[in-house]
Structure 1
Amino acid sequence: MNTELPYILAISFQKGIGDVIGKKIITHFGSAKKAWRSKPEELLKIKRIGKVLSNDFGSDKYLHLAYKEIEYCDKNNINIISFFDTNYPNNLKECYDCPLVIYTKGNLDFNSSNKKKIAIVGTRKMTNYGKNFINELIDNLSDFDISIISGLAYGCDIESHTVALKNNISTWAVMGTNLDKIYPSTHKKIANEMLANGGWLTEQPSFKLTTPEAFLQRNRIIAGLSDAIVVVESAFKGGSLVTAKFANDYNREVFALPGKTIDPLNEGCNFLIKTQQAYLIENSKDIINYFNFDINRKSNQLDLFIEFSEEENSIVNLLRIDGKQHIDIISYKLDLKSYELMPILLDLELKQVISTLPGKFYALK
């Protein structure tokens, strides 16, 4: 057993310590064990550590609880991963308020360099419009190396997990409960199927009671794990908008499916697009272009069907070899002024050869 783990867990259980301060304390002392055995006056040197907390820090009751949790997880095939472990998700580690400890079950490949993690979130009252979109999106992404992340809830969440399984795509459920309680219980069969190619993740230890706040907090994990988030049908005050806010805070790209302005289930998505908190998404092609997924599959045949000018050919070859490029980089590499480059890019877009991506990036279709 990792000798640091009991002390990391004990710190995470310590009343009054959150994820940010917990990581700060361990980093300050260089190890959780040293931190746990430190004196109150040493703790007080750390900002935001008060006397009440410093005097209560290091209580045996939390360490005993930590050993019990380790024993429980061992018996139930639950992995305990701390922020300081090499297998902690790299994407999540980028987020300042990420959990000090996560609990996982299944086969979750967090840190594969090529795999893209796409979160799909939305209303529990999914309509056929949302269902058809999710099916089209995931079906058409099944050729690519991706994982689908969602929250195992009714509606858009469980539909995303189900379609991912149907397409043999790794799918991860981020839960607001601990891992011995599947919520809702009607999704237990799907959840168990996920363990072979994906799995479950939570920040809640086995003894923690479920609270409404835990489901809101888990939304930051969904956002943090992901490379991009797709919001499908959301009311104006839906939990999906909380996920989108976290995603924007973490510099993740957010996409939202637009809908009828008179439909309450579309108010959230339309608001995200209107306020420039999300890009409008129509179908899977927008995600494929954003990640530059099929540049090699489709670009090899472009020259067979379209005649290019010398400048157009230079741009096509550049995007074929180097992939998605910012307009300033294209301008620099091809020694073309912006005013010279813009009409050429527009012609290529009209010929449906290239796509304009968020942030003034361009890629082959």
Structure 2
Amino acid sequence: MNNDERLCSIALTLCPGIGHIGAKRLIDAIGSAVDVFGYRKELPERLPGVNSSIITALDCPAAFLRAEREMEFVEKNRLTCLTLRDEAYPSRLRECEDAPIVMFFKGNTDFNRLHVINMVGTRRATEYGKRFCTDFVHDLSVLLPDALIVSGLAYGIDIHAHRAALADNMSTVAVLAHGLDRIYPSVHRKTAVDMLVNGGLLTEFLSETTPDRHNFVSRNRIVAGMCDATIVVESAAKGGSLITADLADGYHRDCFAVPGRVTDAASIGCNRLIRDNKAALVQSAEEFVKTMGWASAEPAAKAAGIQRNLFPELTDEEELVVRILTHQGDLHINALVVEADIPVNRMSALLFELEMKGVVKALVGGVYCLLA
């Protein structure tokens, strides 16, 4: 990826009146940020229905001046600038309509590994919530040592999830609500630095951006969108973690909540999520892995159901899915999306067709296996 695409992606975020969704739609339709600006005057022919105000907004020299300053900051501080067209960009997030078209990263990890989860919760964590984080992550490190733990570096559950991951040598990423020229809260600086070795810090915000309140809601969509599942450990009746859970549901991600006593204020939000069927109850890492279908399927489960046709006619995309399942074994639909680089809505249709042809079988938790 050349610097022109990065520069233009940053500039596009700074053009007035376009926004997250508008910027992504332009790039999806035209192909690149460079071409969005290069074909600015021809957009009405290339993208019918585009508003004339968009054409005017793209004529913004000030946006490029600020983008150039940001690129200098990126290079000086050896940050990674990720655009939608970068292979390292979180592929799960790329499928979301409001995904950021450019992000900044400091650290060392793979966002596109097979298992990515986030753990979020109240800033006023109780000993119960802290202990759950420690025990859950420790057990997960045995079951799925290559999993990535994502959170927001905030007080409470967030920071305990990060520290638990570090204690068990698991990769952990903090998604920030400000630029990479600062750490908020500052008391978590040491943890943030420790995360750079195996994990790191990720943000969509330019340097000099302060942690304003509305930025945290924007940050939460990234936390939800880049993961396979959201785990709400503790939450009061209202809170940012409930927003993250709602966003995860909107992105068709799995959502889990840790139950608490009905008298505990820190568990009201979790208990309601479970009561309203907005989240599955989770009590342990083993239970979570089994529910997600990330554990090895029993041979009997594979044998059950329809038999595979001997010579089904498959499309090229269906053949690709079959090859992936042949080489890697049972996979969650999100993992198949990553491996095949096929949008989730298209992948769902392909898997349905393969089921009808007797080639694959759906297991519990969105996992698919190849029938013998």
Cα offsets for 1:292-324 (capped at 9, x unmatched):
45548xxxxxxxxxxxxxxxxxxx5334xx5xx
Look up the match of 2:134.
135
| 2:70 alignment partner, SS class | helix
Partners of 1:44 and 1:52 in 2: CA distance? 15
- Any gaps of 5 or more consecutive residues in structure 1? 297-315, 323-328, 335-355
Kindly state the Cα deviation for residue 48 of structure 1 after the two structures are TM-superposed: 7.0
- Other-structure match for 2:157: 156
CA distance in 2, matches of 1:142, 1:12: 38
Q: Aligned-pair distance for 1:170?
A: 0.3
Q: How far has the Cα of 1:26 moved from its partner? A: 2.8
Q: What residue in structure 2 maps to residue 272 of structure 1?
A: 273
- CA RMSD across the alignment: 2.5
Secondary structure of the corresponding residue to residue 331 of structure 1: coil
- Tell me what 1:227 maps to: 228
Contact 2:174 2:202 in 1 (8 A): yes
C-alpha contact 1:119 1:228 (8 A) present in aligned 2:
yes
> Aligned AA for 1:286?
E
Cα distance change on mapping 1:80 and 1:283 into 2, 3 Å: same
Secondary structure of 1:4's aligned partner? helix
Alignment deviations for residues 18-70 of structure 1 (CA, whole Å, 9 cap, x no partner): 12211222343333233214455745974675444422322211112111111
In structure 2, distance between residues paired with 1:274 and 1:361 = 28
Q: State the alpha-carbon separation in 1 of the partners of residues 95 and 32 from structure 2.
A: 20
| Amino acid of the structure 1 residue aligned with 2:140 | L
Q: Distance in 2 between matches of 1:195 and 1:88?
A: 17
Q: Is the contact made by 1:37 and 1:58 (CA closer than 8 Å) also made in structure 2?
A: no
CA, structure 1 residues 27+248, in 2 after alignment: closer, same or farther (shift >3 Å)? closer
> 1:134 Cα shift?
1.0
1:244 aligns with 2:245: yes
Q: Whole-Å Cα distance in 1 between the matches of residues 272 and 76 of structure 2?
A: 46
Q: Kindly tell me: are residues 45 and 331 of structure 1, through their superposed partners in 2, closer, same or farther at Cα, counting changes over 3 Å?
A: closer
Runs of 4 or more above 3 Å deviation: 27-31, 37-53, 291-296, 356-362
Q: 2:304 aligns with which of 330, 333, 336?
A: 330
Matching residue's letter, 1:139: H
CA distance in 1, matches of 2:287, 2:223: 21
Amino acid at match of 1:264: A
Query: Against the structure 1 CA distance between its residues 183 and 277, is the aligned structure 2 distance closer, same or farther, given a 3 Å change threshold?
Result: same
- CA change 1:361–1:73 in 2 (3 A) is closer
Q: What displacement does 1:207 show?
A: 3.4
Between the aligned partners of 1:32 and 1:67, the Cα distance in structure 2 is 15
Q: Single out whichever of 185-194 and 212-221 deviates more from structure 2.
A: 212-221
1:359 CA displacement: 7.3
Distance change in 2, residues 1:237/1:47 (3 Å): farther
In structure 2, the residue matched to 1:73 is 74
- Percent pairwise identity: 38
CA 1:358–1:261 in structure 2 vs 1: closer, same or farther (change >3 Å)? Answer: farther
Note if contact 2:236-2:268 (Cα within 8 Å) is conserved in structure 1.
yes
For 2:91 and 2:31, how far apart are their aligned partners in 1?
21
Kept after mapping to 2: 8 A contact 1:174/1:202: yes
Q: 1:53 to 1:138 in 2, by over 3 A?
A: same
Write the deviation string for residues 246-283 of structure 1: whole angstroms up to 9, x where unpaired: 11111111110111112221111011101100001112
CA distance 1:34–1:283, shift in 2 (3 Å): closer
Greater Cα offset, 126-135 or 183-192: 126-135
Write the distance in 1 (CA, Å) between the matches of 2:45 and 2:156.
Answer: 48
Distance (Å, rounded) in 1 between the aligned partners of 2:368 and 2:68 = 51
Name the CA shift for 1:288/1:14 in 2 (closer, same or farther; >3 Å). same
Indicate conservation of the 8 Å contact 1:161/1:171, yes or no: yes
Superposed CA deviations along residues 65-88 of structure 1, whole A, max 9, x for unmatched, are: 111111110001111101122221
- SS across alignment from 1:71: helix
Give the Å deviation of 1:111: 1.7
Give how far 1:8 is off. 1.7
Gapped regions of structure 2 (runs ≥ 5): 309-362
Residue number in structure 2 paired with 1:318: 300
Q: Deviations over 1:73-119 (max 9, x none)?
A: 0001111101122221111112111111111110021123x3x1111
SS in 2 for 1:204: coil
Matching residue's letter, 1:330: A
**Greater displacement, 4-13 / 249-258:** 4-13
Structure 1 match to 2:326 = none
Deviation readout 1:211-260 (Å, 9 max, x if unpaired): 21110111111111111111011011111110000111111111101111
Q: Distance in 1 between matches of 2:109 and 2:281?
A: 30
SS of 2:56 mapped into structure 1: helix
Change (3 A) 1:44 1:242: farther
Letter of the structure 1 residue corresponding to residue 300 of structure 2: L
Number of aligned positions between the proteins = 312
**Contact 2:175–2:201 (Cα < 8 Å) also in 1:** yes
CA contact (8 A) 1:44 1:51 kept: no
Q: Given the alignment of the two structures, is residue 217 of structure 1 paired with residue 218 of structure 2, yes or no?
A: yes
- What TM-score do you get using the length of structure 1 for normalisation? 0.79
**Counterpart residue number, 1:288:** 289
Q: Give the TM-score normalised by the residue count of structure 2.
A: 0.78
Q: How far apart, CA to CA, are the structure 1 residues paired with 2:265 and 2:282?
A: 19
Once the two structures are TM-superposed, the CA of residue 210 in structure 1 deviates from its matched residue by 3.1
Three-state SS of the structure 2 residue aligned to 1:229 is strand
2:94 aligns with 93
Does structure 1 conserve the Cα–Cα contact (< 8 Å) formed by 2:176 and 2:201?
yes
